[in-house]
């Protein structure tokens, strides 16, 4: 068994502009870090294709998907919300991003790999059932989770989201569907200022972090908030919304995690998944300081490889 890295060149055609934080060099930074550390050569690199419309439509309304087709510009750039630019290649990139998530789900569930990291771009966890938001068009994580539930007939899929921002889109799409347990840690109060509180939904576990929170607060939130619900849920698959923007060097949030925290969370997930041999995959969400993103993803993926090679 080994670890797969799913990627696609088409994300380069999602041209957000030189001054936008969510740009193509984010993926380059991760891949350069993996090459410098020597981990790249240990990964199985999988170039993935676009998602089928039927996979997207499990998570998004047909009218929303048609609307994206209609508004895509022929040249230049439009904004689908105040933060989210769309260029002539953005929709193609969004289909590839969701497609990579779908292929990774199929691969880990078919036993081809122990685990997989997916270089999703554009990211997904802010995209709602009928709305683009926060750099996201299609909710890659919900597309992946619904693929696992409906094409592979899984009954219990856990989603772990440690991005600095709450994954409002994932909750919008999967709220109160007991096939899914949604566990997250995020800065609060903070963007996207949604009001998804744990006690109002029967499948939602929130670990709130105050501005300035660091390693200890993050680790305590995971251990105190996620561990017991996750143990009781006994997931058949874990999908991680892996956002690296809670790092202290990241300009997009006010949390203070360090590189080692991303190694720690990967080790924690490895431990959880070792006990039942649970397949798992991680999808890239945020992470906007190129150096911190590269180092943090390298730490995280290094642990995935250790687990993959340990089997
Ligand atoms: Zn984020």
Instruction: Sketch out the chain's domains with CATH numbers.
Output: 3-310 (3.40.800.20)
Alpha carbon of 204 to ligand 1 centroid (Å): 18
> Which residues, chain by chain, have CB under 5 Å from ion ligand 1?
163-165, 243, 245, 286
Q: Provide DSSP, 85-132.
A: EE-TTHHHHHHHHHHHHHHHHHHHHTTS-SEEEE--SS--TT-BTTB-
Phi, psi of 34 (to 5 degrees): -65, -35
For ligand 1, the distance from its centroid to the CA atom of residue 110, given in whole angstroms, is 30
pLDDT mean by block of 10 residues, the chain; 311 residues: 95 95 98 98 98 98 98 97 97 98 98 98 98 98 98 98 98 98 98 90 97 98 98 98 98 98 98 96 98 98 92 55
Return contacts of 38-43, CB within 8 angstroms, 24+ apart.
39/298, 39/301, 39/302, 39/305, 40/5, 42/2, 42/3, 42/305, 42/309, 43/2, 43/3, 43/4, 43/5, 43/117, 43/301, 43/305
pTM of the model: 0.98
- Using the mean position of ligand 1's atoms as its centre, give its distance from the Cα of residue 311 in Å: 32
Query: How far does the centroid of ligand 1 lie from the alpha carbon of residue 200, in Å?
Result: 23
Q: How far is the CA of 306 from the centre of ligand 1 (A)?
A: 27
Residues annotated as catalytic are 126
Q: What distance in angstroms lies between residue 192's CA and the mean position of ligand 1's atoms?
A: 9
pLDDT value of residue 272: 97
pLDDT of residue 311: 55
- State in Å: Cα 131 to ligand 1 middle: 17
pLDDT at 199: 87
How far apart, in Å, are the Cα atoms of 175 and each of 138, 280, 282? 17, 21, 20
Ligand 1 centroid–CA 201 distance in Å is: 22
């Amino acid at each position: 068994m080994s670890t797969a890295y799913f990627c696609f060149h088409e994300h380069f055609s999602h041209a957000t502009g030189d001054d936008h934080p969510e740009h193509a060099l984010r993926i380059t930074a991760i891949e350069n870090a993996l090459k410098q550390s020597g981990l790249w050569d240990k990964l199985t690199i999988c170039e993935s294709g676009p998602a089928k419309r039927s996979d997207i439509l499990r998570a998004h309304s047909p009218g929303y998907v048609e609307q994206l087709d209609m508004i895509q510009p022929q040249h230049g750039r439009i904004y689908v919300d105040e933060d989210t630019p769309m260029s002539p290649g953005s929709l193609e990139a969004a289909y590839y991003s969701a497609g990579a998530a779908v292929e990774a789900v199929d691969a880990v569930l078919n036993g081809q790999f122990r685990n997989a990291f997916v270089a999703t771009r554009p990211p997904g966890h802010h995209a709602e059932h009928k709305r683009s938001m926060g750099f996201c068009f299609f909710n890659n994580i919900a597309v992946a989770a619904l693929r696992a539930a409906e094409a592979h007939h899984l009954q219990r899929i856990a989603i772990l989201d440690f991005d600095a921002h709450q994954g409002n889109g994932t909750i919008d799409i999967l709220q109160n569907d007991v096939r899914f347990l949604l566990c997250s840690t995020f800065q609060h109060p903070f963007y996207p200022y949604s009001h998804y509180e744990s006690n109002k939904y029967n499948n939602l576990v929130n670990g709130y972090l105050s501005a300035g929170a660091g390693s200890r607060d993050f680790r305590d939130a995971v251990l105190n908030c996620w561990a017991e619900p996750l143990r009781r849920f006994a997931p058949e698959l874990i999908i991680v919304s892996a956002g690296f923007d809670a790092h202290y060097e990241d300009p997009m949030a006010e949390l203070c995690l360090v590189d080692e925290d991303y190694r720690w969370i990967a080790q924690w997930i490895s431990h959880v998944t070792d006990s039942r041999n649970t397949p798992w995959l991680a999808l890239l969400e945020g992470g906007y300081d190129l150096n911190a993103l590269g180092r943090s993803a390298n730490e995280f993926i290094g642990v995935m490889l250790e687990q993959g090679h340990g089997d």
